[in-house]
Amino acid sequence: MDKMYFVFSDVHGCYFEMKELLKLWDRQNEKLIYLGDMVDRGYNSLGVIKTMMELKKQYGNQVVILKGNHDEMFTDWLFLDPFSRSMNYYNGLHETIKSFYQNDKMKFQKDTRKQRADYIKRNFPDVVQFIRDLPLYYETETSIFVHAGINLKNTQWKEEKQSLLWIRDEFFYSPIKSKKRIFFGHTPTQFLNKDKSNDIWVSKYGDKIGIDGGCVFGGQLNGVKINRDGEIKAIIKVPRKK
């Protein structure tokens, strides 16, 4: 059984902040768990994905990378028909795609929205497959790790993909207490904390822990070190670089 876990979430392309946070991961004694949303909005989504891929390749089962709703939105967009690609081109996606053209910025300007998807699928098939294959949750004897949360009313919550990727109020304001401690990202904690801070959020019963510090919005990247019982032993905060 793992001794400790190092958990973080919602990097959204904030590559340098992620690198700073990872310096504090104890590779010998901690399993790394990432709660999703590598891409969109930030300045270097591809750099984030490649780092995650390298860590997974190097450390295997010691690294757990979960899928976030933005990760899925990105790969879903790539496989839309050409017309739909153009119609569903959202703001955060633009920054993600741009990061794939770092070595050919002129081509990025020339390519249409339809062509950009084909360019990525053609040149980065391993990246696309890596994201598509990511799991939606990770569970231990004491804790559940997930991107958005779970439907606590459903005993078969593992099968409810929409909730795992998207759920908000129904999850964190639920009167149902979870038997296992749930660590999640997705919702920036400034919307959960009464003081509007970017620090981690702990629910009334202590059964839900929100860790998305809203780094890409000028907040911070939170890292949480927890033991095998789901107890928080350390919190790391990396502020967004100006």
Percent above pLDDT 70 for the chain? 99
Under the banding of pLDDT at 50, 70 and 90, the label for residue 188 is very high
Is 42 within 8 Å of 99 (Cβ atoms)?
no
Question: Can you say whether the dihedral through the CA atoms of 97, 100, 102, 108 is positive or negative?
Answer: negative
Is 63 within 8 Å of 55 (Cβ atoms)?
yes
Under the banding of pLDDT at 50, 70 and 90, the label for residue 2 is low
- The DSSP secondary-structure symbol of 216 reads G
What is the per-residue pLDDT across 145-183, written as a single tens digit (0 to 9) for each?
999 999 999 999 999 999 999 999 999 999 999 999 999
Q: Is the pLDDT of residue 1 over 60?
A: no
3-state secondary structure 148-197: CCCCCCCCCHHHCHHHHHHCCHHHHCCCCCCCCEEEECCCCHHHCCCCCC
Is 220 within 8 Å of 18 (Cβ atoms)?
no
- The DSSP secondary-structure symbol of 94 reads H
Q: What angle do CA 194, 195, 197 make, to 5 degrees?
A: 115
What is the per-residue pLDDT across 92-145, written as a single tens digit (0 to 9) for each?
899 999 999 988 889 999 999 889 999 999 999 999 999 999 999 999 999 999
